[in-house]
């Protein structure tokens, strides 16, 4: 299984901090943000990793991470997204790296309290399709900025609604995705959304339409440090006090 960390984007919601660096290189507590995504993958047993980035500060990832050995990575690759074209487009750049393998995709500004290893193990046992991680989210206003799943009577996801005015559930889709190699066929057929990007929600809905998506609900904290300045500092405060990527053992 391969791991892909998506660390591009303009980081406009964290201006002015991101005028001088990529948001994924900003500190969370005592180290750069992107290292938490690496820690999550390595802690789940995934040691072949690609970092997809872009913009004027892309070279700083190489300076920070090097060959990845210091962080427990066996083989570290890089890809460059020339223009911000959406999460799905960024993932598409990893096709040659992933090849016919399965892939765990992490948005580099998403940080969780607990290890993702149990979800990785469930995905490995999954016969087909994709898997996503959900977080219970009580605040309706927050849900209006997320992808929100709608469930049927058997608690299976029937669709994901992006940034809904009236959220169909109290769960948000986090930035952790588990895909088979077929994901690249799905991405190749996508059409840009109204904002001109290839949307990861469309990828997930494609798997749902084929009856092939499973999910886990995260226990503990989940934070998107790139959502806003307030969210960035909230994630900082939590990690400083409680840590991240903790295993039960």
**Within a domain: residue 249?**
no
* pLDDT at residue 10, as a whole number: 77
**Within a domain: residue 210?**
yes
* pLDDT at residue 249, as a whole number: 57
* pLDDT at residue 129, as a whole number: 97
- Whether the bond between 16 and the residue before it is cis, its omega within 30 degrees of 0, is yes
Containing structural domain, residue 138? 2-242
Which segments of the chain have a pLDDT < 50?
none
**Contact call for residues 123 and 101 (beta carbons, < 8 A):** no
* pLDDT at residue 141, as a whole number: 94
* pLDDT at residue 30, as a whole number: 96
Give the distance from CA 16 to its chain's centroid.
Answer: 23
Q: Looking at 54-143, list the stretches that DSSP marks H as alpha helix, in order from N- to C-terminal side.
A: 59-65, 87-92, 95-98, 117-125, 140-143
**Within a domain: residue 248?**
no
CA quadruple 179, 85, 170, 106: dihedral, nearest 10: 40
* pLDDT at residue 145, as a whole number: 93
**Contact call for residues 70 and 42 (beta carbons, < 8 A):** no
**Within a domain: residue 247?**
no
* pLDDT at residue 212, as a whole number: 85
Question: What CA–CA distance (Å, rounded) separates 23 from 232?
Answer: 10
pLDDT in tens, 182-230: 999 999 999 999 888 999 999 999 999 998 899 999 999 999 999 999 9
Instruction: Retrieve residue 231's tokens.
Output: 């969210």
Looking up residue 153, the CATH number of its domain turns out to be 3.90.550.10
Prediction pTM value: 0.97
Using alpha carbons, select from 110, 123, 233, 220 the residue that is nearest to residue 174.
Answer: 110
Q: What DSSP string runs through 176-224? A: EEEE-TTHHHHHHT----TTSS--HHHHHHHHHHTT-EEEEEPPS-EEE
204-234 b/e (C-beta count within 10 Å ≥ 16 → b): bbbbbeeebbbbbebeebbbbbbbeeebbeb
**In the 8-state DSSP scheme, what is residue 26?**
S
**Within a domain: residue 236?**
yes
**Within a domain: residue 164?**
yes
Domain count of the fold of the chain: 1
């Amino acid at each position: 299984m391969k791991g892909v960390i998506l660390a591009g984007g303009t980081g406009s919601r964290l201006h002015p901090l991101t005028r001088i660096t990529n948001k994924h290189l900003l500190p969370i507590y005592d180290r750069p943000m992107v290292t938490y995504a690496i820690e999550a993958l390595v802690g789940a047993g995934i040691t072949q990793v690609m970092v997809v980035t872009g913009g004027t500060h892309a070279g700083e990832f190489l300076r920070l991470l090097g060959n990845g050995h210091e962080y427990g990575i066996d083989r570290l690759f890089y890809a460059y997204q020339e223009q911000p074209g959406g999460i799905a487009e960024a993932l598409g750049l990893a096709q040659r790296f992933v090849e016919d393998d399965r892939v765990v995709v992490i948005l580099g500004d998403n940080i969780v309290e607990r290890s993702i290893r149990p979800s990785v193990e469930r995905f490995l046992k999954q016969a087909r399709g994709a898997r996503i991680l959900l977080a219970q989210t009580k605040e309706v206003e927050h849900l209006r900025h997320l992808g929100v799943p709608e469930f049927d009577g058997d608690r299976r996801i029937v669709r994901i609604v992006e940034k809904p005015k009236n959220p169909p559930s109290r769960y948000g889709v986090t930035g952790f995705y588990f895909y088979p190699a077929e994901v690249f066929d799905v991405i190749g057929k996508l059409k840009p959304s109204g904002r001109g990007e290839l949307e990861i929600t469309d990828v997930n809905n494609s798997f749902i339409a084929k009856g092939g998506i499973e999910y886990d609900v995260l226990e503990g904290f989940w934070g998107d440090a790139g959502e806003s300045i307030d969210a960035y500092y909230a994630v900082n405060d939590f990690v400083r006090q409680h840590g991240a990527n903790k295993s039960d053992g």
